Structure 1
């Protein structure tokens, strides 16, 4: 009987131990940075203002620096109908610990809004960063965009679609580079034309029925030789549609001479491509830091 009692206590003890280790680790990570939370990037007076979605968090390194720091704006994924900046605090903390001012945003989602409106939200967040990030010691001349999954596709739009930037009065060279982590939606025109996979009709909710819209929000069709450099990553075990569209996007960048690096990470599935960002020493961070020009802390 005593043995059984001890046996059932082991999982609870292990759980408490894991939680303690996690909390100690997070305290160590959070200490070198401070978070400025729930900053509206759309004016409350705007008719479409959404108090829950038009907000961002800024993660600022605590250590003083003589010069302004590079900025990474991170856009979350979630199938264009879910997700929040609040789930990706670890990206902000890890980047800030390594000398980057990180901005993690929320944006409006389907079915309330379709992808063109989401792209507008991301551009408006970028405009806020360009105008205000110097107040938090970020360099408005060194803004990079980053995203995973649907957020990767939206980040790619900010890096390729000049019409989107013009619409929101953003300078032509405002985005200095993009980091695309298992990006989705790079060519939704081709994807929705084919409808190859079960359940593909779900994407008609965020993308609508108009094929001209599918093309307009597909970064593949917006690429020009003037696009900024990019780091692009996919998992070897990600979804076939992401693997094929990213390969196609890579080929298009290469044809036009856009500077970029494209890597397939062995063994990684789609979700694992973002959860790996919990670990400070993973490959993406190691390559991101020199890419954005972060100084070692």
Structure 2
């Protein structure tokens, strides 16, 4: 048996043999990027084109800023700020990339962040520790640290610390939702004078429960959660955002593909939000694959839903 973190590199793939499972499981970690998504989807959807970064004099860009150091690991953020006078602050969105908790990068969310900045939001796309480096709850703690970092540096980056949303895609949506429903929780407490609460959640095709009857997660989730569900049920339940939804949960937007797997727990969460009269929206884009937000023509729809929601729940007349 090999140890959990032994890694064998084969060309561009990373193969893991994890010995915490009932039997040894082989997990192949594939690169997850805009380019790899296009290559995967173009045959079935020949009309798509991959999204690309933009250049605009209406945005100030500050990239690869170290927001947290953990040992030799430097976690970085890309910040995009609407052009304005020196004193103006803006509602802010923290963006969390996907990749099955073991792949992907902050650059996957760069184009979305740039478009949000064009629409009047400071946008921060961050890196966090993936499961190939650190298991749950490392990624959760990193994201909460990023929120605190944003508040600590609010003046420097024109951030309104009282109007902060979190957006995630795929596994990043699960993470974003979990962070959003556990403000300043003792479970994830890494002490700071700054709060890690958010005022809105945007979930782009991410599950909100690992243990819901609709959930279909297995090896990739197990790799992050330290074993499959029957081996580590505590983590599978603890990492499920649905377990924490209550009257204090912030307004929430769901933007989904037509793939039912990625809706796990969503309808139950909406039921709870409605019970407490918490504003929410659900938009399912017809005939779409997972990772639709990285491709035209679906990217435009995703941006429009996101901006409309944020304008309703975060913007004011100041």
Partner in structure 2 of residue 180 of structure 1: 203
Partner in structure 2 of residue 103 of structure 1: 124
- Distance in 2 (CA, whole Å) between partners of 1:231 and 1:196 is 22
**Any conservation in 2 of the 1:78–1:149 contact (CA below 8 Å)?**
yes
Q: Is there any run of 5+ residues in structure 2 with no aligned partner, and where? A: 1-50
Task: Name the Cα RMSD after superposition.
Answer: 2.8
Partner in structure 1 of residue 261 of structure 2: 241
Partner in structure 1 of residue 54 of structure 2: 26
Q: Relative to 1, partners in 2 of residues 1:37 and 1:172: Cα closer, same or farther, differing over 3 Å?
A: closer
Q: How does 1:83-162 map to 2 (within 5 A)?
A: 83-162=104-183
* Larger helix fraction of residues: 1
Which piece of structure 1 moves more, 136-145 or 267-276?
A: 267-276
Q: TM-score, normalised by structure 2?
A: 0.73
Q: TM-score, normalised by structure 1?
A: 0.78
- State the Cα distance separating 1:279 from its structure 2 match: 6.9
- Distance in 2 (CA, whole Å) between partners of 1:279 and 1:244 is 22
> 2:286 is matched with which residue: 254, 261, 266?
266
The alignment partner of 1:56 has SS state of strand
**Any conservation in 1 of the 2:100–2:220 contact (CA below 8 Å)?**
no
Q: Is there any run of 5+ residues in structure 1 with no aligned partner, and where? A: 1-21
Partner in structure 2 of residue 208 of structure 1: 226
Partner in structure 1 of residue 6 of structure 2: none
Choose 1 or 2 for highest CA Rg: 1
**Any conservation in 2 of the 1:110–1:206 contact (CA below 8 Å)?**
yes
Quick check: 1:226 aligned with 2:248?
A: yes
- State the Cα distance separating 1:256 from its structure 2 match: 4.2
Partner in structure 1 of residue 98 of structure 2: 77
